[in-house]
Homo-oligomer: A and B are copies of this chain.
Amino acid sequence: MAKLYFRFAAMNAGKSTSLLQVAHNYEERGQSADLYTAAIDNRAGADGVNGSGRVSSRLGVTRAANVFNDTTDFDAIYHTKPHPSCILIDEAQFLSESQVTQLHRLAHTSSTPVICYGLRSDFLGNPFPGSKSLLTLADDLEEMKTICRCGRKATMNVRLDEFGQRVTAGAQIEIGGNERYEAVCARRFYTGDCN
């Protein structure tokens, strides 16, 4: 039996880099990894958050990935082809609750670990659906650390408008480049500054 992992972080911590490293580690040892990313972003092409079915690191590393949306049946896919050594999912905050349950059950009834990377909370401090379920079910929760502009650990995200001003209302999902989001410490999130 294997485990379900959730490696969570605020924006721009290095989640995609870490996912690409894990895929490399598996393949270097003669094993295989199935990569997925969310299909809700079409900025860069047809279907991928980080571009068109790609996982892309801010360090410049990138590779193709499958995409998932709310109708993706991970169980069916798993059982209709040779099993991968592991399943790696980027932008996992966009998984549905039932998909997380499916992946949790899959890990515990097969020998295939499932490693999910994603945001913990949105720009208002609320969880995404996938994050809520992953935080509830994952066998292994690992925080990937990044820093606020003050140097403290950044655990929260704020959304900015085109003038760089903080926005405190709007839809949970609004795809945007880094210029629209900033990872901040909790003190800045609540008080507006870091002091």
Contact = CB atoms under 8 A, between A and B. Distances in A.
Contacts of A61: 59-61
A147 B120 CA distance: 26
Contact of A136 (B108, B135, B190): B135
Interface string A1-39: 100000000001110011011101110111100000000
Interface string A72-85: 00000000000001
Contacts of A20: 59
Q: Could you say how many copies of this chain the assembly holds? A: 4
Contact of A108 (B1, B21, B121, B186): B186
Interface in A133-189: 135-137, 139, 141, 143, 146-149, 151, 153, 155, 185-187
Nearest to A133: B127
A10 to B, nearest CB: 10
Contact of A58 (B1, B28, B113, B147): B28
A37 B17 CA distance: 21
B187 A146 contact: no
Interface string A113-128: 1000000110001110
A26 B153 CA distance: 11
A111 B187 CA distance: 12
A59 B191 CA distance: 40
A97 to B, nearest CB: 9
Contacts of A147: 25-26, 29, 31
Contact of A139 (B28, B57, B127, B155): B155
Give 3 closest A-B pairs by Cβ, nearest first.
A135-B135, A14-B21, A127-B136
